Homo-oligomer: A and B are copies of this chain.
């Protein structure tokens, strides 16, 4: 996975539509088969464009894959940010943030598999990607710790812990089976806020 000169995508209205068709088909195909089992020919077939057309818009299989990951990234962060807007207490924010994440997953389960794949395909990407999210979380946690709302512990570490919770729970209950009831969500939030131990 190394870089390469980026093709100058067509710039017309029509070109924009074509590009979108390809992107959407790619999302579907990558999501269903993963990076390695995905075939450019399958993507173009599902896009309804010719094979060669793909290379007018993307310079390689990797490029479109990265583009997709970037997109998810961006959407996810916006989604999380929106979920947080207008909340008062930190605990509400965290609960809301977690909910926002899981709802996001529900809408983009296929793309999420792509990011997971990227994790393994390209560990540096993982670092960059998750680190970035973690930093956002860590800042929030740090503030709450300073205010005395949260127990004082390594904020980045806890941020990763929260992300892991979202990831596994999301994978199990959302991505694979779509059974994350509100009751379960409440349980989960309670665990995050108060831990395992009674009292």
Copies of this chain per assembly: 4
Interface of chain A: mostly helix, strand, loop or mixed: helix
B residues near A194, Cβ cutoff 8 Å: 151, 194-197
A169 at the interface (CB under 8 A from B): yes
B residues near A198, Cβ cutoff 8 Å: 148-151
A6 at the interface (CB under 8 A from B): no
B residues near A171, Cβ cutoff 8 Å: 119, 126
A166 to chain B, nearest CB (A): 7
Q: Report the separation of the CA atoms of residues A183 and B108 in the bound assembly, to the nearest whole angstrom.
A: 37
> A78-117: which have CB < 8 Å to B?
90-91, 94, 113, 116-117
With A160-B169, A168-B160, A184-B154 already in contact, the answer to whether A197 and B149 are too (CB < 8 A) is: yes
A191 at the interface (CB under 8 A from B): yes
> A152-177: which have CB < 8 Å to B?
153-154, 157-158, 160-161, 163-169, 171-173, 176
Between-chain CB contacts (< 8 Å), 24 pairs: A34-B120, A36-B36, A94-B196, A120-B120, A126-B171, A144-B196, A149-B198, A151-B191, A151-B194, A151-B197, A153-B191, A154-B187, A157-B169, A157-B173, A157-B188, A158-B196, A160-B169, A160-B173, A163-B164, A163-B168, A164-B167, A192-B195, A194-B195, A194-B196
Chain A residues with a Cβ under 8 A of chain B: 34-36, 90-91, 94, 113, 116-117, 119-121, 123, 126-127, 130, 134, 141, 144, 148-151, 153-154, 157-158, 160-161, 163-169, 171-173, 176, 183-184, 187-188, 190-198
